[in-house]
Structure formats: C-alpha cells, structure tokens
Amino acid sequence: MFVGPGLGAAIVAALLGVRGWMPGYIIAAVLFLLTGYFVYFFRDPQRTPPSDPRAIVAPADGHILLVESLPDGRTQIDTFLSVFDVHVNRAPIGGTVLSSEYRPGKFFAAMKPEAGKQNERQDIALETPLGVVRFAQIAGILARRVVCRVGSGDELNIGDRIGLIRFGSRAEVIVPPGVTPTVTVGQRVRAGETIIARADQ
C-alpha cells in the first residue's frame, strides 16, 4: 500500500530529472529513501515462540513501558513500539478469541499514560488454559491505523500474527491472577519470543 506508490512516484520524479527538470532528482532521492523506510518498517521476521505452556510472550517488539498490578489481582504489561520497531503484532498465548472490538479514540503520544485509555485501539479477549488474557493494539501520535486480522471464535497459537499498528504505537497485555510478570520497565522485548509473564503453577 505504501511501497508501490512511493516507488512509482520516485521513478516518475527521476524520469523528469532525466528530461531536464532538476528538482526531479532531489524529489526522487527523497522518495526512494522514504520507500526504503516503508520496506524496512513493514518487515515481518520469523519468530520462534517458547514451548513453555505456562508462558505469555510479548505481543509486540519494543520496550516495556509499564508493569502494574491491578486492584482485581490481574497485572497489566505495556510495550512501547518506536517507529523503528517491527510493528507486526502476535498472540501472547494460544487460545480462543472471545471478542475482538475496535474502539475509536484520540492520538496521544503512545508513551503518555492517557494514550492507553483514550487512544484508538483494538481490544482482544482470549480464553486460554491460564484464564482470560486480554491484549490491545493501541495507536500513537503517528499510528493512526490499527489493523487486526482476528475475530471472535478464531483459534490462535502462541506467537501467531494478529495484525499490526502503523508507525509508532503501544501494545497492552492484561494477565489473570496467578500469572507473574517476568520483565521490568525499560527491558527490550521481541514479539512472539520474549516471555513477559509466567503462570505460577
């Protein structure tokens, strides 16, 4: 969606440069660089999930932004994705999708606390052997398009691709009681591979 038009426009600008319109070369160079970034941004590397049945993995690449105990005994773990991180999101654990709901909202910077509550987001509830695990794709100031490819009734394996968020964002996981976080704020994680929490038994 982004790569094709960008590459096409770059080629047209370059051809205009060849025909004597000197700004065409500059525009072509900028567009080629931008297209290269889009190719880099939409990369989708293979990941190998852990075999631990008690593990919950990161749904996104990035840095842990929040690890917080909730009043009902659950724990919330948020990951911040910069514009240089892989933005393909993955299932934190295997199970059955109970619900997948889009919620429009604002576009605060993803690192701000209000972003988790007020920004555009996709909320997914997953029935798992450890209980109901909730996770969300949350837009940021630049990410204005949440793409989710799963719906109610879908069966997911740990690490399965579920969608992506375009250009800088936040991912939220809420684990049930009896599941202990294994990460700390500031730690770097990889979607589908890094264990962020583990069931106590």
Report percent pLDDT > 90 for the chain: 58
Domains: count for the chain: 2
Answer yes or no: do 37 and 63 share one domain: no
> Is 164 a residue whose pLDDT tops 90?
no
Answer yes or no: do 96 and 68 share one domain: yes
Give the distance from CA 178 to its chain's centroid: 25
Answer yes or no: do 23 and 67 share one domain: no
> Is 138 a residue whose pLDDT tops 70?
yes
Would you say the C-alpha torsion 55, 127, 179, 134 has a positive or negative sign?
Answer: positive
Give the separation between CA 199 and CA 201, rounded to whole angstroms: 5
Answer yes or no: do 74 and 139 share one domain: yes
Answer yes or no: do 10 and 74 share one domain: no
In a domain, 46, yes or no: no
Place of tokens 């094709």: 4
Answer yes or no: do 31 and 117 share one domain: no
Give the separation between CA 68 and CA 180, rounded to whole angstroms: 11
Answer yes or no: do 113 and 16 share one domain: no
Task: Tell me the Ramachandran region of residue 73: left when phi exceeds 0, alpha when psi lies from -120 to 50, beta otherwise.
Answer: left
In a domain, 87, yes or no: yes
**Residues taking part in catalysis:** 169
Answer yes or no: do 34 and 75 share one domain: no
Model confidence, pTM:
0.79
Our CA dihedral for 149, 102, 197, 183, rounded to 10 degrees, sits at 110
Q: Are 95 and 160 in contact (CB under 8 A)?
A: no
In a domain, 134, yes or no: yes
In a domain, 48, yes or no: no
Give the distance from CA 123 to its chain's centroid: 12
* Coarse DSSP helix, strand, coil percentages of the chain, rounded to the nearest 5 percent: 20, 40, 40
Binning pLDDT at 50, 70 and 90, where does residue 26 land?
Answer: low
Answer yes or no: do 93 and 185 share one domain: yes
In a domain, 66, yes or no: yes
Q: Are 97 and 124 in contact (CB under 8 A)?
A: yes
Q: Which of 47, 28, 115, 43 is nearest to 83 (CA)?
A: 43
Q: Are 69 and 172 in contact (CB under 8 A)?
A: no
Amino acid sitting at position 151? G
Range of the domain at 152: 55-199
In a domain, 50, yes or no: no
Answer yes or no: do 83 and 35 share one domain: no
In a domain, 47, yes or no: no
Place of tokens 């992506």: 164
Residue range 63-121, pLDDT digits in tens: 999 999 999 999 999 999 988 888 899 999 999 999 999 998 887 877 777 777 889 99
The domain that holds 186 is classified in CATH as 2.70.70
Answer yes or no: do 60 and 153 share one domain: yes
In a domain, 174, yes or no: yes
Give the separation between CA 198 and CA 57, rounded to whole angstroms: 9
Mean pLDDT of all residues in the chain? 85
Answer yes or no: do 104 and 161 share one domain: yes
Give the separation between CA 148 and CA 97, rounded to whole angstroms: 12
